[in-house]
Structure 1
Amino acid sequence: MCGGKFLHVRCVAHIMNLVVMDGLSEISVAIKRIREAVGFIRQSPARIQKFNNFVALDNTSKSGLCLDVPMRWNSTFLMLQSAVKYEHAFDLYRLSYKQFKNDLEAKSGIPDIHDWESARRMMKFLEQFYHFTLKVSGSQYITSNLFLPEVGNLYNLLKSWMVVNNEDYQLSFMATKMKQKYEKYWGDVDKMNKLLYIAAVLDPRRKLRFIGFALKWMYGDEKSASDLTSDVEEATYELYAHYENQVGEASSSSQTELDEDGGKMDLIAEYMKQLQKERGVVNKTELDRYLNEEVERSMDPKFDVLC
Structure 2
Amino acid sequence: MKSLFLLLLLVLFQFKGFTQFVSNEIDNIVSEYTKNPQNKLTFFYTIEKYQDDTIQLNKIMVELVKHLHKDEEIDFQIVNSLLDVANGRFSNSFVIKDEALLKLTDILNDLLVLSSNRNFIAENLMYYNFGLYNEQSKNSLLKSLKNRKLCFNWTILEVGALNIPGGKQALQTIIDSNWTEFKDAALVALCRMGDKHSLDIFFTKINKIDPVEKAFDQYYRKIEYIKQPESILFLVKLLDSKALNEMPKETMKPTKFAATIVRVLSRMIIDFPIKYFNDAEEDNAIKMAKEWWKENKSTYKINREKY
TM range (shorter): under 0.3
TM-score (norm 1): 0.26
Which structure is richer in relative contact order (CA contacts within 8 A, separation 6 or more)?
1
The structure whose Rg is larger is: 1
